[in-house]
């Protein structure tokens, strides 16, 4: 955690910033090393200040020992932040352009004095978060372990007559009983034609004989997330379903085998996309191939055609090719990959060298 703060302070210096107001809960969690909500963090070379109110103050106090001071908010948090900036003699104060609400920005600005500036920034902390350290990877592994067990457990509930919502409820209960704080996002259980909607919300629909069931589930393990999709079907499934399943699986394999440090991210997306296109299903795969996972379910890097840059060891992201045939069914297969020093590891399964 110390190392993360040091890295961030170095980054601030490069950006010519004296201090930085962090308002995104995930970014505060990242810098503080514990799950934070309803807080602000002011990072400056001289001092790190954590702002929160009486609901959380007692709980976080021992966790801030030796690296940050705590300011309990009563009254306007924005006035307190602005005053603290003045006490620390900060003139160029960065903030997260994507996360601070316009109303908050105006309030803080209103309390600042002439010569003190709020400077918008983009993804300063998010870019650091792309590469995970050993502690983070450990938590992600644990999150995935629970997710894998949940998918195994739920198999017996996937049968004709069961409602999608009932399957989702069983999963939700299971992950909490097995150590997760909760689901990372609303669990998707989509049966039959519903699986053609990438983000279907499970409902009262009952699973019918011969239908496939797509489950997309992630858990939250001490702030770290997982994200996996599996499609379940019986041997009696139609030939077309089987054929599409094999295409999607092969597309995933093609992308995964090329994941290694230095590889262009856009190329990984292209490998899976081109294979699906060659099979004649280009227009049925609309979303990007994957996304980073960590303190948020969707974070950098985006595994897509437009994301510049190359893979780095320590990156963790999903590879989730899909084919959606509206009115019929959809197949998505999603795994989480860790870029290792030489290649990659499928965190949810086998190892690629
Ligand atoms: Zn997913
Ligand atoms: Zn995903």
pLDDT tens digits, one per residue of 298-313: 999 999 999 999 999 9
Flag the least confident range among 49-63, 170-184, 320-334: 49-63
- Examine the pLDDT at 194 and tell me if it is beyond 50: yes
pLDDT of residue 238: 86
pLDDT of residue 31: 95
Distance CA 73, CA 80 (A): 7
In the structure, what pLDDT confidence band is assigned to residue 66 with cuts at 50, 70 and 90? confident
How far is the centre of ligand 2, averaged over its atoms, from the C-alpha of 96 (Å)?
24
- Examine the pLDDT at 74 and tell me if it is beyond 90: no
Distance CA 288, CA 306 (A): 9
For the chain, percent of residues with pLDDT exceeding 70: 99
pLDDT of residue 315: 98
Flag the least confident range among 127-131, 160-164, 288-292, 349-353: 349-353
Is residue 336 within 8 A of residue 293, CB to CB? The reply is yes
CA gyration radius, the chain: 23
Ligand with the closest atom to the CA of 287: 2
How far is the centre of ligand 1, averaged over its atoms, from the C-alpha of 23 (Å)?
26
How far is the centre of ligand 1, averaged over its atoms, from the C-alpha of 217 (Å)?
6
Distance CA 53, CA 215 (A): 39
How far is the centre of ligand 2, averaged over its atoms, from the C-alpha of 334 (Å)?
7
How far is the centre of ligand 1, averaged over its atoms, from the C-alpha of 17 (Å)?
37
Distance CA 108, CA 99 (A): 14
Mean pLDDT to the nearest integer, 174-203: 97
Distance CA 1, CA 98 (A): 24
Please tell me the chain's helix, strand, coil percentages from 3-state DSSP, rounded to the nearest 5.
40, 25, 35
Write down the CATH number for the domain with range 134-346. Answer: 3.90.230.10
How far is the centre of ligand 1, averaged over its atoms, from the C-alpha of 331 (Å)?
12
- Phi first, then psi, for residue 337 (nearest 5°) are -120, 140
Mean pLDDT to the nearest integer, 62-67: 90
Ligand with the closest atom to the CA of 296: 2
How far is the centre of ligand 1, averaged over its atoms, from the C-alpha of 211 (Å)?
20
How far is the centre of ligand 1, averaged over its atoms, from the C-alpha of 308 (Å)?
23
Positions of CATH 3.90.230.10 in the chain: 134-346
How far is the centre of ligand 1, averaged over its atoms, from the C-alpha of 248 (Å)?
15
- Examine the pLDDT at 140 and tell me if it is beyond 80: yes
Is residue 54 within 8 A of residue 74, CB to CB? The reply is yes
pLDDT of residue 3: 87
Which tops the pLDDT comparison, 2 or 223? 223
pLDDT of residue 1: 54
DSSP of 215-233, one letter per residue?
A: EEE-EEETTEE--EEEEE-
Contacts of 18 (CB under 8 A, 6+ apart): 12, 44, 45, 88, 89, 90, 91, 92, 93
Distance CA 303, CA 344 (A): 15
Helices (H), the chain: 2-14, 25-32, 54-64, 77-87, 102-111, 124-129, 134-154, 164-177, 239-256, 265-278
pLDDT of residue 353: 37
How far is the centre of ligand 1, averaged over its atoms, from the C-alpha of 301 (Å)?
15
How far is the centre of ligand 2, averaged over its atoms, from the C-alpha of 224 (Å)?
14
Mean pLDDT to the nearest integer, 195-205: 95
| Pairing assessment for the beta strands 213-217 and 188-191 based on DSSP bridges | antiparallel
Is residue 299 within 8 A of residue 131, CB to CB? The reply is no
Ligand with the closest atom to the CA of 289: 2
In the structure, what pLDDT confidence band is assigned to residue 2 with cuts at 50, 70 and 90? confident
Ligand with the closest atom to the CA of 185: 1
How far is the centre of ligand 1, averaged over its atoms, from the C-alpha of 334 (Å)?
6
Positions of CATH 3.40.350.10 in the chain: 2-128
Task: Quote the mean pLDDT of the chain.
Answer: 95
pLDDT of residue 279: 98
Write out the CATH class of domain 2-128.
Answer: alpha beta
How far is the centre of ligand 2, averaged over its atoms, from the C-alpha of 44 (Å)?
35
In the structure, what pLDDT confidence band is assigned to residue 234 with cuts at 50, 70 and 90? confident
Q: What b/e readout covers 251-268, taking b as 16+ CB neighbours within 10 angstroms?
A: bbbbbbebbbbebebbeb
What does DSSP assign to residue 200?
Answer: P
Is residue 333 within 8 A of residue 229, CB to CB? The reply is yes
Q: Tokens at residue 148, please?
A: 């894998």
Is 87 strand, coil or helix? Answer: helix
pLDDT of residue 202: 95
What does DSSP assign to residue 182?
Answer: E
Ligand with the closest atom to the CA of 218: 1
How far is the centre of ligand 2, averaged over its atoms, from the C-alpha of 260 (Å)?
20
Mean pLDDT to the nearest integer, 11-20: 97
Ligand with the closest atom to the CA of 228: 1
| pTM attached to this predicted model | 0.94
pLDDT of residue 235: 81
């Amino acid at each position: 955690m110390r190392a993360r703060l040091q890295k961030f302070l170095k980054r601030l210096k490069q950006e010519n910033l004296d201090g930085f107001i962090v308002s995104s809960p995930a970014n505060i969690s990242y810098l503080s090393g514990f799950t934070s909500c309803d807080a602000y963090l002011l990072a400056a070379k001289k001092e790190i200040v954590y702002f929160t109110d009486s609901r959380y103050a007692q709980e976080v106090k021992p966790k801030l020992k030796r690296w940050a001071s705590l300011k309990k908010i009563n009254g306007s948090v924005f006035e307190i932040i602005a005053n603290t900036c003045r006490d620390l003699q900060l003139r160029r104060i960065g903030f997260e352009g994507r996360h601070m609400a316009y109303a908050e920005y105006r309030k803080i600005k209103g309390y600042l004095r002439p010569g003190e500036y709020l400077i918008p920034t983009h993804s300063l902390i998010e870019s650091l978060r792309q590469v995970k350290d050993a502690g983070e990877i450990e938590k992600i592994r644990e999150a995935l372990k629970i997710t894998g067990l949940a998918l195994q457990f739920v198999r017996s509930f996937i049968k004709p007559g069961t409602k999608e919502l009932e399957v989702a409820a069983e999963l939700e209960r299971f992950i909490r009983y097995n150590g997760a704080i909760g689901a990372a996002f609303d669990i998707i259980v989509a049966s039959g034609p519903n699986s053609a909607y990438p983000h279907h919300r499970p409902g009262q629909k009952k699973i019918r004989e011969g239908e496939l069931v797509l489950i997309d589930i992630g858990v939250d393990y001490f702030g770290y997330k997982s994200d996996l999709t599996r499609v379940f079907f019986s041997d009696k499934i139609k030939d077309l379903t089987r054929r599409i399943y094999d295409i999607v699986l092969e597309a995933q394999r093609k992308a995964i085998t090329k994941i290694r440090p230095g590889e262009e991210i856009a190329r990984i997306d292209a490998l899976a996309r081109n294979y699906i296109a060659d099979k004649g299903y280009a227009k049925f795969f609309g979303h990007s191939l994957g996304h980073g996972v960590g303190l948020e379910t969707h974070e950098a890097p985006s595994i897509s055609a437009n994301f510049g840059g190359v893979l780095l060891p320590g990156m963790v992201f999903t590879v989730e090719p899909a084919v959606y045939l509206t009115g019929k069914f959809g197949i998505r297969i999603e795994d989480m990959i860790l870029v290792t020093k030489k290649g990659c590891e499928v965190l949810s399964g086998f190892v690629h060298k």
